[in-house]
Amino acid sequence: MARLAKLVAAILLLSVTLLDARLATAESSGQTVIVDSPTLNVRSGPGLTYSLIGKLKDGQKLEVLDRSDDWLQISVDGETGWIASWLTKSNDSGSNENKTIVSRVDSLNIRSSPSITSAAIGKLRSGDLAKLVEYQGEWASIIVDGMEGWVHTTYITEVEEGQKTGASESEKPKVTDANSFTVIVDRLNVRKKPDQTSKRIGTVSKNDTYPIEKIDGNWVKISLGGKKSGWVYAFHGELSSKSTKSSNNSNTVAKTVSIVTNGTNVRVEPTTASDVALRADAGDEFHVVEKKDDWYEIQLSDGGTAYVAEWVVNSSETSASSANAATKKPKRIPGTLKGITIAIDPGHGGNDRGTTGTRGSDEKDLTLQTAELLAGKLKDAGAKVIMTRDSDSYVSLRKRTSIAHEEGADAFVSLHYDANPDRSITGFTTYYTQSAQQSFAQSVNEGLSSTIDLPNRGTQPANYLVLRENRLPAVLIELGFLSNSSEERVLTSLYFREQASQGIYKGLLHYFDTN
């Protein structure tokens, strides 16, 4: 009798367990979670012993298909996998109302749809805020200045409510307590009114300090000199009672500048990532309106203004401190890329599609996607990054090398994906042309070999124009064969692009640490 009672109890316990499992699955299906870890492994099954099939980024939004204990089954890029639930957070609120993102980089493209191939409809500067609408994979839908678009999550940070609202009223510095505002981001918009949608009347730069005229909640009204003033968001600066100074007024500004070389870019904004307003030739002379860091704002013949870099012009009048600053490069810190300028060349673009894979992938799209991930890693390491193209546009081969030379790059990396009539061929190859480029190619190749699982075809000499006409340490990387259907499946995954960009970054870091 006792044995029968134990058997009945065991059956009841098993039934309850199975019922709980079915209820957990039913409750989990359709649930949405957000990745809450810098990287999150996707595995082939619900456990640490299952093979790794991909990685996810912090902040990615995912729909749960199923649950097994502490593991969640999700779908990524049309393929299912399992993730650890303890590295996610619930998205039960389902709303991003009142959430804000801030751009971590200068000249971040706002696109018309969540794709690198879609049209760029605007840009965010470093430190710019935008309203978050929703996440879709590795893209975020935002609204800024009344315009809705998409930005890549690699280059943004979600601002928590506590950060956004700042200190409590009792903790906020009063005008009598603080008389100066110091900018702590690379670029900060100055607006006509204390509102994110108000007209932008200018920008201020990192470490510049300005007198405070008024504080209104999270906004600070600063004096820009003369009778000019405007509003900046307090989150991007420090309030203090120290004496004020403006770097723009501390040095003598040139009255005119003359262009040094033919084809010099004159840009819409004071950054090398900005659109080109016109190309000037050697000897062209312009009147200077204002100097902003390493850029001159110049008067154009049509009455408008644009910007030209200090290092590509001769000035009529320059103070000794400015002259010394222009010739002195930032000192590089070992283990970082601070002080290094890298030119990234995403192969093909526009009407030049490059090779097309057996599954329909276009090389021009993959090179740009990889380049943007690489650019993010290099900037995080302190490097200045020059992109020979940042949209689906055609750029000639000679222009690609001239962009790198003109912007004073220290190295040049051209990204490509390979093809061969023999569809059995696989692997990645790192090419160089000049003997002086060989050690650079070896460093990059070794970095790639340490992070991706494709066959390594090594470093090889090749007569490519972007290498032949290049006086920099330069490489052209073929990251794998789109002509091989199995390899194409790997190459088109976000995980591969992440690993490849990480490997190139490691190779660059090793090269500059040893040279």
- Which residues are known to be catalytic? 478
Can you spell out the DSSP letters for 166-193?
-S-TTTSPPTTT--EEEE-SSEEEEESS
- The dihedrals phi and psi of 233, each to the nearest 5 degrees, come to -80, 125
Q: Secondary structure of 94-121 in the HEC alphabet?
A: CCCCCCEEEECCCCEEEECCCCCCCCEE
- Sole residue written with tokens 């004071």: 270
Whether the CA torsion 305, 284, 389, 325 is positive or negative: it is: negative
| Cα–Cα distance measured from residue 266 to residue 208, given in angstroms and rounded to the nearest whole number | 25
| Cα–Cα distance measured from residue 117 to residue 140, given in angstroms and rounded to the nearest whole number | 15
Q: How far is CA 474 from the centre of its chain?
A: 22
Q: Which two tokens stand for residue 190?
A: 């100055």
| Contacts (Cβ under 8 Å, ≥6 apart) of 365 | 116, 117, 392
Q: Which two tokens stand for residue 256?
A: 């005119």
Q: Secondary structure of 15-66 in the HEC alphabet?
A: HHHHHHHHHHHHHHCCCEEEECCCEEEEECCCCCCCCEEEEEECCCEEEEEE
| Contacts (Cβ under 8 Å, ≥6 apart) of 102 | 127, 128, 129, 130, 156, 157, 159
Q: Secondary structure of 237-256 in the HEC alphabet?
A: EEEECCCCCCHHHHCCCCCE
360: left (phi over 0), alpha (psi -120 to 50) or beta: left
| Cα–Cα distance measured from residue 81 to residue 73, given in angstroms and rounded to the nearest whole number | 6
* Largest Cα span, the chain: 107
| Cα–Cα distance measured from residue 362 to residue 119, given in angstroms and rounded to the nearest whole number | 17
Q: Secondary structure of 394-441 in the HEC alphabet?
A: CCCHHHHHHHHHHCCCCEEEEEEEECCCCCCCCCEEEEECCHHHHHHH
